[in-house]
Every structure is written in C-alpha cells, then in structure tokens.
Amino acid sequence: MTTLMLTEDETMLRDAARGFLDGAAPVRNLRENRDQGRAFDTGLWKEMAQMGWAGVLVSEDNGGSDMGHRAAGILAEEMGQTLVASPFISSAVIAATALRNAASDRLAGIADGSLLYALAVDEGAKHGPAKTAMSAEKSGNAFRLSGRKTFVADGASADRVLVLARTAGSAGETEGLTLFDLDASRAGISRSAKNTVDSRDFAQIDFDGVEATGDDVVGEVDGGHAAIARALNAGQAALSAELTGLSAGAFAMTAGYLKERRQFDRIIGTFQALQHRAAHMWSEIEVTASAIANAGRVLDEKPDESELAVSIAKARATKTAKLVVSEGVQMHGGIGMTDEFDMGFYMKRARVGAEWLGDYGYHAARVARARGF
C-alpha cells in the first residue's frame, strides 16, 4: 500500500527548503525578475543547485542525490508557495527523467545546475504530444528538422533542447515520433521569447533544416513517444505540486488578510460566510495535496503505471488553484486586482500553470480513459 506520509529525509528536505526560500526567494523576487527583464535569478538557481535540488532525480553516479519524484514534488510545492522562477521543472525534473536511462554524460551538468534544458513538444494552443507534425526527414545518416514549437518553458534561456519530431506517420499518431537532444545554439535554431502573464520564460522555437545525427536521438528512432512519456508524467506531477504550493501560498495570504481587515467595525474574518469560503479552500488544498503525494509515490514505485495518478493530481491542482486565487482576489477586494499587490501574481501563475503540460480537460480525459469511459 502506498504511504502518503513523509519520510524523515523528506521532512528534513521540506523544512530546509521552506527555511531557505522564505528568506532567499520571497514573492517580490518575481516582481524584480519581471522589472529587470530576466527569466530567473541565476544566483538563486546556483544556490539551489548547490543544495542538491537540481540533482534530485539524477543518480549519485552522475553527481545527483537521487531522492525521487516525491522529493521533487516537495521542492516544487515549496517553490510554488513563493512563486519561485527557476528552470527546476524543465531541467531537474523533465530532462533528468528523459535522460536518466540514456547513458547521457549531460546528467552531471543537470545535477550541478550548469546545464539548462527546455522541452519543445507542443505546436498548437493546447498540449498534445501525439499531434506533433514537425518533420525530421532522413538525410543520409542524419536527420533534418523543420518546424515550429510553441509555449516552450525556459526556451529562451536553455542551453539544450529536447525536441519531439516526426520521423514517420502523421500528426495524431503516437508511432513515428523521435526525441532529439540538441544544442540550443545549433545552426538553424532560432528562439523568440514570448510574453506571458506570469512573467516567466516561455519561447517559440523555430527549426529550419536543423541537422541531427543518431547521437542526438534519445531512446529509439520512431520510439520518441515512449522516450518522453515518463518524463512528461514527471513534469506534470512536479507542476501539480507547484500549483498546490501556489494555492497554499495564496490561501495563507488571504487568511492573513481576513484576520486584519476591518469592515463595519468588525474583522471581516468573523463573518460566517467568509469563514465557510475559507474552510472550503483549505479543504480542497488538503485533498489535492494528498493527490500530489500519491502521484509522487507512484512515480517512484510504479512509474509505468503512473499516468492515472499524475492526471488526477494535475486536474485537481489546476481546479484548486483556480478556486483559491479567484477567491483570494475577491476577498482582497479592489487591492486584489492591482499590480502593486502580490495576489495578482498568484492568479497569473495559476493561469499559465493550468495550460502548461495539459489543461484540466486534457487530464480529465486521460483519467476517463484510464477508468474505461
């Protein structure tokens, strides 16, 4: 039976992460990143890597701590509480998982935080790896990649890109996809940063006859869907954890406001209607946190059977975050809608997180299929 309780090491990790992030990465850092036009604080990321966070899913032989997906979720959840901007999910989670069994010498770079990865999968407005149409035509012993990837998280700042392209079949088929690991500065690759409401690093990446060899293939040619599936599940679970941390952070801010704001000569937190709404938010966060813990445990214990647990976690995390930030903005009244107040940053991040790696509808459909509907 899967246990949702934290181990002693996981408890220590959570407490250490919270203690560090409270002082080193408050929400105002996100505002500073935005105002200075930077994707994330490189100094903060270096400190996080030195604490071993970047190598949480990298084997000890490659310089990592190999603590597992539940630990990665704990870190992501703590980062979500203060909206930490970092390449953690793209590099330390998705790329590390994708390359874990590929005997890649780049895992050490991921573990020490010196090598940043982005995952280029989607080509339309919605997540759908099987919809990949970008071509990777054979050219002698090599391939030439041509096409466009959109909504690439950490795409503007990444050193390398994991890109899913079609070597056979047609869009909509899971067969015929191949995963490539490419240097982001390779000839024919052009990147353009895209503005998102949460002021994070997302980019559009164009590939114009980019040459790739067999050494750039992760897994097997035409077997890219299998090569990327576990990595996507890992990323979705970590993103779900971040959204749950976000919900907890927004709830704490709202609860604090309810305890100090006065209206009609009374603290508004004494109004029963607001108490009921706050209790509803808290309950939803707690239930979702259990789903997040379960997804992490299943990824660690039965990774090939993790899709259902991960999609339940992502669907719940998306729905819960939407509830909490909407209620938070409303309960703060007019100031909740202003740029000067931090609550708006939680709402914006929740909106982008809801879309990245599959929205509520995408994951609800996966849950339905897994349950035979």
* Alpha-carbon torsion angle 347, 313, 245, 51, nearest 10: -130
Confidence (pLDDT) at 108: 93
Cα dihedral sign, 85-86-89-94: positive
Share of the chain above pLDDT 70, in %: 99
Confidence (pLDDT) at 101: 75
Backbone φ and ψ for 134, nearest 5 degrees, come out as: -55, 130
Confidence (pLDDT) at 58: 96
Rounded mean pLDDT, 47-65: 95
Rounded mean pLDDT, 356-373: 95
For tokens 């009609």, what's the residue? 264
Confidence (pLDDT) at 1: 52
Residues 6+ apart with CB under 8 A from 312: 291, 294, 295, 363, 367
The span from the CA of 315 to the CA of 367, in Å, is 9
pLDDT, one tens digit per residue, over 243-262 is: 999 999 999 999 999 999 98
Burial string for 114-129 (b: 16+ CB within 10 Å, else e) reads ebbbbbbbbbeeebeb
Indicate the average pLDDT of the chain.
94
Confidence (pLDDT) at 2: 65
Q: Are 91 and 244 in contact (CB under 8 A)?
A: no
**Domains of the chain by range and CATH?**
8-114 (1.10.540.10), 118-223 (2.40.110.10), 226-370 (1.20.140.10)
Q: What would the DSSP string read from start to end of 272-329? A: HHHHHHHHHHHHHHHHHHHHHHHHHHHHHH-GGG-HHHHHHHHHHHHHHHHHHHHHHH
Confidence (pLDDT) at 6: 86
Distances (CA, A) of 20 to 15, 39, 82, 114, 322: 9, 20, 11, 21, 27
Q: Is 357 helix (H, G, I), strand (E, B) or coil?
A: coil
Cβ count near 214 (within 10 Å): 9
Q: Is 202 helix (H, G, I), strand (E, B) or coil?
A: strand
> Which of 120, 127, 240, 111 lies closest to 178, judged by CA?
120
